[in-house]
Structure 1
Amino acid sequence: MSLASTFVHCPSVRDVAFLEDHLLAVNQEGFITHIGPFHSEESAQILRSKGDAEELIIIPRTGLHLPLMQWLDEYAYKAEEKLDADLGLAKEVYSKLAQRLIDCGTGAVLLFGTIKEETNLVLAEVMQAAGIRAFVGKLSMDISSRPTYREASTQSALTSARSFVHRCRSLTSHLPAYEQLVQPVVTPRFVPTCTNELLAGLGQLAQEENVMIQSHIAEAYDQVEWVKRERGVEDTKIFATSNLLTPRTVLAHCTFIGPLKLQLLASTGMSVAHCPLSNAYFSEKPFELASAIMSHMKVGLGSDIAGGYTVDIMHAMRQAVVTSKMKAGFAKTRWIDAHELAERGTPWPDDVDKSEPTTRTVDWTQTLYLSTRGGAEALGLQGGVFTVGAPFDAQQIKVFDPANGYGVGAIDFFGEVEDGDKKIDLGVLEKWWCIGDTRNRTAVWVQGKQL
């Protein structure tokens, strides 16, 4: 397959690159074999051998009022148990999820499943059939406030986790490596649902089987306080002593972790799944995203799916910027208030730095990186960027319709597009980032295959 296009990608967290009038070639295995100027000699040779190229614009790709622990009790556990009890229902739900992910341009996803092996195998099968890269985690939990929804013992939980790893891998073992889109993930739900023995066993299992680890950590005030009260230490310490903080680990949320501890966590090579909308509902505290980026921590964007109202990562990009700016404004306001009170003789608060705060925010281009290359790095993937040897995972975006002279969807052009000029620049890309939707998305590829 050959595509002639303007390609837009984020090679680094502070760089948006436009490859205008380029030709990209993809081999039968779905890997990029060439990307270069359309009129270069090498591109010309490819066109002579493969014929015409298609011209595109490509870009790599209830109960929420309750506190987290109460929401899990009243909603999440019941829903998961219902899926575990009816595999037909599970397949129906997961098939709908797969289609919505594709509609939203998501070609790679890290999923929390349920505690039953068979249900998670259905999830893996559906994602593989849909052509989506899926990291599927069978939940491990030997503690639960819902007696009917937990594993019988620590040992049975470990046995089931190991069995799932093997069975999930066997689903695609007959396929070439580049077509094996589904991977198992060791998934302790979080500290409140796992004994220390289970966590340690899962850390050992992940090391022995060389699989990824995912969990939730430091997400909400009630969860953080529960761990301190019941275990006597913070959940980050428990994960560290259980060998669960590794370069293969992705931890969601991390909102109740300050900049200094984030630097220590970054040194382990772990990644963060930043879900800004879910954090607004359950954390009541924003993630230190700007600090994480400054610490060179691997960060990808997530929707948390159940912890919000949309699976669309475009919304997560926008919400991440809003959250970052609100957080910076709050810090500045607290410093101003403390400064004014100190001038009137009130002691300076211990939790407010006396030096004037430096405004650290993220902009839209950085969140575009986090939703493409950043997410790929967090998942240990080579994609998210247009370079030779990378898998061709991308989405096609249409912002202008030359047939009628109008922008597509909510994107309007007033006097900006003349004589059929379709030049894609940073301004047009920002328009799409701000107000684009599924009407602009006309194709999605994973490993070179159009979904």
Structure 2
Amino acid sequence: MASPSSDTPAFFISGNFVSTPVLGELEILEDHLLAVNAQGFIAALCPLSSPKAASLLASAEGNEIEHTELPKHSFLLPTFTDLHLHAPQFLYAGTGLDLPLMVWLEKFAFRAEERLDGDEDLAKLVYERLGRRMIECGTGSGLIFGTINPKTNLILASTFLSLGLRAYIGKLSMDQNSSPTYIEPTPSDSLASASSFINSMRSLTSSLPPHRRLVHPVLTPRFVPTCSDELLEGLGELAKKEGVRVQSHMSEARDQVDWVKETRGTGDVEVFERCCLLNSSTTQAHCTFLPQPTIDHLAELGTSIAHCPLSNAYFSSQIFPLRECLDAYIPVGLGSDIAGGYQLDLQVQMRQAVVVARLRDSQVKEDELARREQEGSTSDDETKDLRVSWKESLYLATRGGAMALNENRVGGRFAVGEAFDGQLIQLVDPGTSRGTGSLDFFDLEVGVEGEGALTFEQMMERWWCNGDGRNRKGVWVQGRRLM
């Protein structure tokens, strides 16, 4: 039997489509028809009233092609990408957040990871629940830290592959400054384990068609304190040889930054770059201690950043310079940083990103005003606006995270040729005509449909501020419906 053409629809969805293809810009496509092919890519997207839509629907008549018509006050949004998540730490999320970072790692993180490495049944249970919870939260893709043991990471990969999630999974590499029972003995042992993991991950998906190879290996030096220079240099060479992504933590917390300077004589940015681990295939989490020259340099290198606002509030004494990084065109996405951040839902992270940026803007303006008063300056020059909008945060959670991963045809938007990764958001229950979930305060007679009606954009902002999982009625990854 001949395989279907790449532009032959496997199913249709018609209704409203919302995305942020450009930072700060909301694209609302009302009453459109989307066609998805058998490989899970978008084959067509056009107005429902257009001749093209009529032709597509007419050609499908008699072929029993599924056509889902979305309710009036619903829309499809690209799935979220969690750009920084520790899968084994889901076991204890929301614990010990009063501790300094390095103490917290010793008391909770290393122990949880070691526990899963020693208990396959527990690993399967934790990873299954994590994956299903991600789907419930509308997260279709994740850049994920695993554990030291390659076998445990393959359990993670197999679980997510079975669930249909897109996942970039990293086996931890660490050969110093860890628990005596949770460490790789030598740099060569660590490098051999990382190389073996890459091969095993590729074998896991080698029999699948390319569009179903949704899990990928990522080299993952935990961070500079736990990795010798020899190990980091070897990982840089391995990344180049195998063509795989790299993820780590960088410039996160004061105690971590000071430790690196005391033990290495330089900053961790310089260490990573010297070892060829800062480039367009690298995503670094946190990066709260970044002066402007370093931001500009990272932009030149093409390194992407996972912004974890909730986690940073607990473990960093600085607020991430989000506006400066965006203005420098650094690819930035959002990370939950489970378990440094206690909430897996990226909608929470979006709200936190806006809040902390506004707080930072206010503090910087106050500091500048105090400086001018102290110096007796009469300058009335306005300081840079460091705030971000809800639309920009939505970009970070969708398009921004996808762009940071830089994978072909997975762009966090709705466009012909892109993978169809989407989530269905319902604002109003079509059965009761009441707002869905916590949006039940909608005044439908006046606020949505009557005089003084809310615009679609205003309804979306209300969802962004007040919505929750009750508004999510469907999730697709690579054209496969997961919820």
Give the TM-score range, shorter chain. over 0.9
Corresponding letter in the other structure for 1:9: S
Matched residues, percent identical?
48
**Gaps spanning 5+ residues in structure 2: where?**
1-10, 80-94
CA contact 2:43–2:417 (8 Å) conserved in 1: yes
Shift of 1:417: 2.3
Q: Which residue of 2 aligns with 1:262?
A: 295
Shift of 1:354: 11
Shift of 1:159: 0.2
CA contact 1:335–1:356 (8 Å) conserved in 2: no
Alignment of 1:313-352 (within 5 A): 313-343=346-376
Question: Of 413, 416, 438, which aligns to 2:442?
Answer: 413
**1:20 aligned to 2:46?**
no
Question: Of 386, 390, 407, which aligns to 1:360?
Answer: 386
Q: Higher mean Cα deviation, 55-64 or 179-188?
A: 55-64
Q: How many residues align?
A: 443
Q: Which residue of 2 aligns with 1:55?
A: 69
**Gaps spanning 5+ residues in structure 1: where?**
345-352
Alignment of 1:89-168 (within 5 A): 89-168=122-201
Alignment of 1:371-382 (within 5 A): 371-381=397-407, 382=410
Per-residue CA deviation, residues 293-327 of structure 1 (Å, 9 max, x unaligned), is 10000001110011122110000100000010000
Shift of 1:357: 2.1
Pair 1:93–1:420, CA change in 2 (3 A): farther
**1:396 aligned to 2:424?**
yes
Q: Which residue of 2 aligns with 1:426?
A: 457
* Rounded Cα–Cα distance in structure 1 between residues aligned with 2:18 and 2:382: 37
- Which segments of structure 1 move beyond 6 Å, counting only runs of 4 or more? 419-424
* Rounded Cα–Cα distance in structure 1 between residues aligned with 2:453 and 2:406: 35
Question: Of 32, 37, 40, which aligns to 2:42?
Answer: 32
* Rounded Cα–Cα distance in structure 2 between residues aligned with 1:401 and 1:422: 17
Q: TM-score, structure 2 length as denominator?
A: 0.89
Shift of 1:420: 13
SS in 2 for 1:402: coil
CA contact 2:41–2:479 (8 Å) conserved in 1: yes
Shift of 1:47: 1.1
Q: Which residue of 1 aligns with 2:412?
A: 384
* Rounded Cα–Cα distance in structure 1 between residues aligned with 2:381 and 2:99: 37
* Rounded Cα–Cα distance in structure 2 between residues aligned with 1:217 and 1:355: 34
Corresponding letter in the other structure for 1:395: Q
Corresponding letter in the other structure for 2:41: F
* Rounded Cα–Cα distance in structure 2 between residues aligned with 1:256 and 1:212: 23
CA contact 1:402–1:420 (8 Å) conserved in 2: no
Shift of 1:421: 12
Corresponding letter in the other structure for 1:24: L
* Rounded Cα–Cα distance in structure 1 between residues aligned with 2:67 and 2:463: 25
CA contact 2:447–2:453 (8 Å) conserved in 1: no
SS in 1 for 2:438: coil
Per-residue CA deviation, residues 362-381 of structure 1 (Å, 9 max, x unaligned), is 10000101111111011113
* Rounded Cα–Cα distance in structure 2 between residues aligned with 1:213 and 1:420: 53
Q: Which residue of 1 aligns with 2:230?
A: 197
CA contact 2:24–2:389 (8 Å) conserved in 1: no
Q: Which residue of 2 aligns with 1:443?
A: 474
* Rounded Cα–Cα distance in structure 2 between residues aligned with 1:377 and 1:362: 19
Question: Of 19, 43, 59, which aligns to 2:53?
Answer: 43
SS in 2 for 1:244: coil
CA contact 1:400–1:422 (8 Å) conserved in 2: no
